[in-house]
Amino acid sequence: MAITKPSSRILRTPDDLSSAGLIEKRRAGALEDVARRFAVAVTPDMAELIDRTDRRDPIARQFVPDVAELTEMQGELADPIGDEAHSPVKGIVHRYPDRVLLKPLHACPVYCRFCFRREMVGPGKDLLSAAELDAALAYIRSHREIWEVILTGGDPLMLSARRLGAIMAALARVDHVAVVRIHTRVPVAEPTRVTAALVRALKSDKAVYVAIHCNHARELTAAARRACRMLADAGIPLLSQTVLLKGVNDDAETLETLLRTLVANRIKPYYLHHPDKARGTARFRTTVARGQALMRRLRGRVSGLCQPSYVLDLPGGYGKVPIGPCHVAASDAQDALVIEDYKGRRRIYREDGAS
Ligand SMILES: *Cc1c(COP(=O)(O)O)cnc(C)c1O
Ligand code: SF4
């Protein structure tokens, strides 16, 4: 399957990173083992964003490998959300009755150090062959309960416009599929891939949604905003998903700026993901209590349009669950609930007349 030609300037090795000034030369050797284990790629757009003088730069933290990735914590898994157990045919994950993931390829524009699919993605990992893609599409056609197809991977916007258009056309011919959703980091990480031809390839009689993976307001550069605008102007509703990452966006100001910037660019925040327990990713994980405290801060302070659902994908393939915060406290009194308002004050709500 054809992938559009990547820019030759993508940084893919510790030596590349050191030449670009993103790591000290003496660290390059130690990172070889990491790079052999987990794919590395930093696009020119993301490399340019990194402040070389800031040792804690939130963009560098997401993409520049670290020797800590070789340390595995108890409970970390190769397949942290249990996709394999729900894969009836290659390229399909069917966990919930009404929707499937379709993964046509395993390449991404960048390789995020916290990625939950880090052991499945990478430049050497296989694409679906034409026969495998046909089998995956046949599965979708033969399961009438499938209402939505979610293209993910890897990153589906790494496909050429021609290949993507062929998949979209095949899905458009399936009567019971109403919605096609595309999860992508391309508009942020490699916005030049969003061409007029690629946008045209997304056109469909089905409802098409694009969910953009973005973790920090700085990722929404002028070029990224332009790419998002091309998609939105084509009538495609845009959603965002953000991973709550320690040292990247786990403070109220950073999160608030990100969510406001997304909405101001016509991107509706959809999910804030608690990080998955992928191998070697402990340095990114904060506690659920901290995530809930951040969500509490946002409620009331920030427009409702900016509020994502805070979710955890349960290890083992049990699905995504909203993890609060819950504003309804238990109450002893009958027909009365104790509810916290946005300032954290407790109010009684009586369910008079309700049954
Ligand atoms: C995340 C996910 C979905 C999509 O879930 P939504 O809550 O609809 O966004 C579907 N299938 C699988 C296997 C998933 O991991
Ligand atoms: S773009 Fe998505 S799938 Fe690819 S490495 Fe980053 S988080 Fe993982």
Does 7 reside within a domain? no
96 among known catalytic residues: yes
Residues 333 and 255 grouped into a single domain: no
Of all protein residues, whose CA lies closest to atom 7 belonging to ligand 1?
Answer: 320
Do 351 and 226 share a structural domain? no
pTM of the model: 0.95
Domain match, 138 and 276 both: yes
Selected catalytic residue, list 16, 61, 113, 115: 115
pLDDT digits (tens, 9 = 90+) for 263-301: 999 999 999 999 999 999 999 999 999 999 999 999 988
Tokens encoding 256: 């608030």
Domain harbouring 277, CATH code? 3.20.20.70
Q: Which ligand is closest in space to the CA of residue 213?
A: 2
Q: What is the C-alpha to C-alpha distance for residues 106 and 340, in angstroms, rounded to an integer?
A: 44
Active-site annotation holds for 214: no
In a domain, 17, yes or no: no
Please count the structural domains in the chain: 2
Domain that holds residue 337: 326-355
* Cβ proximity of 132 and 83 under 8 Å: no
Whether residue 23 has its Cβ less than 6 Å from ligand 1? no
Note the pLDDT tens digit of each residue in 199-256: 999 999 999 999 999 999 999 999 999 999 999 999 999 999 999 999 999 999 999 9
On whether both 303 and 206 belong to a single domain, the answer is: yes
Q: Is 57 part of any domain?
A: no
Sheet holding 309-314, edge to edge: 92-96, 99-102, 148-151, 179-184, 207-213, 238-243, 267-273, 309-314, 319-322
Q: Identify whether 351 is part of a domain.
A: yes
Whether 173 sits among the annotated catalytic residues: the reply is: no
Least confident of 75-84, 97-106, 168-177, 326-335: 326-335
Structural domain contains residue 54: no
Determine, yes or no, domain membership for 267. yes
Indicate whether 110 and 79 sit together in one domain: yes
Same domain as 221, residue 342: no
What's the sign of the alpha-carbon dihedral 305, 310, 313, 319?
negative
Among 16, 57, 112, 113, the one annotated catalytic: 112
Nearest CA to ligand 1 atom 15: 319
Are 248 and 62 a contacting pair, CB within 8 Å?
Answer: yes
Q: Is 93 in the pocket of ligand 1 (CB under 6 A)?
A: yes
d(CA 313, ligand 1 centre) in Å? 9
